Amino acid sequence: MMRQYELVERVKHYNPATDEALLNRAYVYAMQAHGTQKRASGDPFFAHPLEVAAILTDLHLDDATIVAAVLHDTVEDTEATLEEIRRLFGAEIGALVDGLTKLKRLDLVSKQAAQGENFRKLLLAVAADVRVLLVKLADRLHNMRTLQHMREDKRHRIAQETLDIYAPLAGRMGMQELREELEDLAFRNIEPEVYATITQRLTRLTAKSERVVETIAQVLTEKLGAQGITAEVSGRQKRPFSIWSKMERKSVAFEQLSDIFGFRVVVDTVQDCYAALGIVHTSWPMVPGRYKDYISTPKQNDYRSIHTTVIGPKSQRVELQIRTSAMDDIAEYGIAAHAHYKDLGKEAGKDLARREGEGSVHPRLAAESGAYLWLRRTIELLAEGDSPEEFLEHTKLELFQDQVFCFTPKGRLIALPRGATPIDFAYAVHTDVGNSAVGAKINGRMAPLLHELANGDEVEISRSDGASPPAAWESLVVTGKARAAIRRATRTAVRRQYAGLGRQILDRAFERAAKTFSEDKLRGALPRLARATTEDVFAAVGRGEMFSGDVVRAVYPDHRDERRPATPQGAMNGAGRLVRSSDQTMRLTFAGAEGGKERGTSEDRADAIPIRGLAGDLPVTFAPNGGAVPGDRIVGILTPGVGVTVYPIQSAALAAFDNEPERWLDVRWDTEASGSERFPARLALKSINEPGVFAQIAQVIADHDGNIDNISMKRRTQDFTDITIDLSVWDLQHLNAIIAELRGKRPVNSVERVNG
């Protein structure tokens, strides 16, 4: 276990101005508080917070963070209180310990909803002070290093949680070294046999390639030195998890990997980076498609470096990362790298760094970090009302993806996950831009909204004020922000549609009851309806969750519906067809057998609910077996949570709803003669079996501007075939014209319209 003086010396090594008395007080207080507590390994419990503090000293963190690490388990696991911590160590350290105490109860390996909710808590706690995250990551790293002392089932759960959440989060914060160690430790516990196999192969490969690596590093150093560039060149072997991930992703064997070893070239200045790149590319052939410049366009986690791959000495494929020493610190330690704050490019940042001590991270400086800005943007999703499961899903999308860099026409840089589309781009610019997007130009040329973006693309989004995102977009985008926004917009649009339908139903219900309808009166009845707003009532009525008659009676408790039939299920007329009515519908009389003509409501009744079609404002669908077209007498069936299904009034399928009169709606067509919307219909044909019959049928439909949506054929006998055709037509007149001409074709024995 680390001694008191050892902890102080570790901090003084990078921060000579450290408050030794503060560190000593924290050490003694925590040691006394934990007393004789033991860990699962049998070691003193106090060893754990000390090791967490030691990890943070490697990151050169400030005194407050080191002290918080030493104290982070005291409130949770001992008799210590937050009030005592604040009194003894100050408000700043007290706030850090408080944030860590809340996070201590996290159990992200529980059910999906709990996992998402706890991850919300993690990010919200971190939002106040990024140092909370740094301590939490160090805490997780030490726990992973000692995971072998836990039960096997618990080891697997904790390792999976680390791989899903903590390692990617460390990567997003730019802490690559910590991320890689977390990944490897998790991989070792999740796939121990695979880990052992890859480790053995790496050990053998390292023994064989040691001289090759040394040779390549020496040649690179000499070539750069000959041009006056001082460089530190080092070879580095990829870690087992990184190798396994690439094997899985590209479906290749270990022997097929050609980039297991990479080389890091660390130079003094940015100019030297590009000069070194020129020397490398003029000395050896470059591998096409393997060059990335993260200096001119840094990653969101502040990572900067030049990546390239060449066919180097001895025809070896060589991966190179060229960067300055400051960039190298950021690449390893990310948001915790003190060198980052020296390179902010702002005099205020430099002055503050000098005032606070060159060797420590200050939280106000951390706020300048691109990594922290990403974290804050992610936290903004918390205010958008997503469920915990959705939030976790969306955030994982952001954590796991690599990036492409695109530009707006004004030159603003937008970083997106690889595989992103112009839809993702639009939502990255602003949610309103995404919701109203209707088209895109990529590098000045029109392109589909689903086009995959590439590095350097300039994207211009075309917008329409009346547009809304299709629900199908949700499964096509790759960013969590876009997916969350589309899901919210879809829910809002559906709710608006149901509310519009519900308002129309209530207008007609109050009119039939000869009562005055107003939102003020409805608002007074909200407690009786158990709804918070009038919009909730409209939506509930539109979904079929609440009957309009109940709303009328809630507003006017003395109202009695005298129009309600004595037999709730309707009365039978002489033709054996049902006459249905309810508090939501006017009386509808169906076709009688004797005259062959429909009797009942007029199609131009003003109080019927207008139906336009699938593209209208109402959640409307058509009868699944036959559809309906303008010119048909129609009735609507309200299905809770689905909307209105429109049937021709003569449809046999309506008999299935005989016992549910409350679901029947009086509806009418609301289409223009010159409208551009088609409607579904179904035809049943019987034709002679001879060559060319289907071609003749298809030609008739095409000549009349019909559109075939689906077709099925079944041979009834050797001589006849049954054909069912789903087609789209403008109206009943259009459909009848097609039927008439089909009946005139010699091979067609009969044509009938199917009415479900």
Tell me if residue 585 falls in helix, strand or coil.
strand
Distance CA 194, CA 187 (A): 9
Query: Is residue 608 predicted with pLDDT exceeding 70?
Result: no
Say which range, 20-29, 257-266, 743-752, has the weakest mean pLDDT.
Answer: 257-266
Say which range, 22-36, 323-337, 599-613, 627-641, has the weakest mean pLDDT.
Answer: 599-613
Annotated catalytic, 465? no
Residue range 348-366: mean pLDDT, rounded: 40
Q: What is the DSSP letter of 729?
A: E
Say if residues 269 and 326 touch (Cβ distance below 8 Å). Answer: no
Say which range, 108-117, 273-282, 330-339, has the weakest mean pLDDT.
Answer: 108-117
pLDDT on residue 379: 58
Query: Is residue 66 predicted with pLDDT exceeding 90?
Result: yes
Query: Is residue 367 predicted with pLDDT exceeding 90?
Result: no
| 597/491: higher pLDDT | 491
Active-site residue, selected from the candidate residues 19, 20, 43, 76? 76
pLDDT band at 375 (very low <50, low <70, confident <90, very high): low
pLDDT band at 573 (very low <50, low <70, confident <90, very high): very low
pTM for the complete prediction?
0.53
| 569/652: higher pLDDT | 652
Mean pLDDT of the chain: 78
pLDDT band at 211 (very low <50, low <70, confident <90, very high): confident
Query: Is residue 229 predicted with pLDDT exceeding 60?
Result: yes
Query: Is residue 350 predicted with pLDDT exceeding 60?
Result: no
Q: Cβ of 265: how many Cβ atoms within 10 Å?
A: 27
Active-site residue, selected from the candidate residues 20, 77, 358, 389? 77
Query: Is residue 85 predicted with pLDDT exceeding 70?
Result: yes
Query: Is residue 105 predicted with pLDDT exceeding 50?
Result: no
Task: Specify burial of residue 372 (Cβ count, 10 A radius: 0-12, 13-18, 19+).
Answer: buried
Say which range, 159-168, 393-402, 666-675, 695-704, has the weakest mean pLDDT.
Answer: 393-402
Query: Is residue 258 predicted with pLDDT exceeding 80?
Result: no
Tell me the domain boundaries of the chain.
Answer: 4-191, 194-336, 401-469, 490-555, 571-669, 679-753
Distance CA 302, CA 173 (A): 8
Residue range 735-739: mean pLDDT, rounded: 91
Task: Select from 3.20.20.70, 3.40.718.10, 3.40.50.360, 3.10.20.30 the CATH code of 401-469.
Answer: 3.10.20.30
Q: Buried b vs exposed e over 205-224: b needs ≥16 C-beta within 10 Å?
A: beeebeeebebbbebbbebb
Architecture of the domain whose range is 194-336: 2-Layer Sandwich (3.30)
Alpha helices in 343-421 (DSSP H): 347-356, 363-366, 370-380, 388-400
486-531 pLDDT, tens digit per residue, is 888 888 887 887 788 888 888 878 887 888 888 888 888 888 887 8
| 172/713: higher pLDDT | 713
| 363/312: higher pLDDT | 312
Query: Is residue 387 predicted with pLDDT exceeding 60?
Result: no
pLDDT on residue 115: 52
Query: Is residue 132 predicted with pLDDT exceeding 70?
Result: yes
Residue range 401-412: mean pLDDT, rounded: 75
Query: Is residue 127 predicted with pLDDT exceeding 70?
Result: no
DSSP letter string over 286-319?
BPTT--EETTTS--TT----EEEEEE-GGG-EEE
pLDDT on residue 587: 32
Distance CA 629, CA 513 (A): 31
With vertex at residue 303, the alpha carbon angle to CA 368 and CA 359, rounded to the nearest 5 degrees, is 60
Annotated catalytic, 76? yes
Residue range 174-198: mean pLDDT, rounded: 89
How many residues make up the chain in this entry? 756
Say which range, 97-106, 581-590, 654-663, has the weakest mean pLDDT.
Answer: 581-590
Q: Cβ of 619: how many Cβ atoms within 10 Å?
A: 22
Residue range 689-700: mean pLDDT, rounded: 89
Q: Which CATH class is domain 679-753?
A: alpha beta
Task: Select from 3.40.30.10, 1.10.3210.10, 3.40.5.10, 1.10.238.10 the CATH code of 4-191.
Answer: 1.10.3210.10
pLDDT on residue 594: 29
| 453/484: higher pLDDT | 453
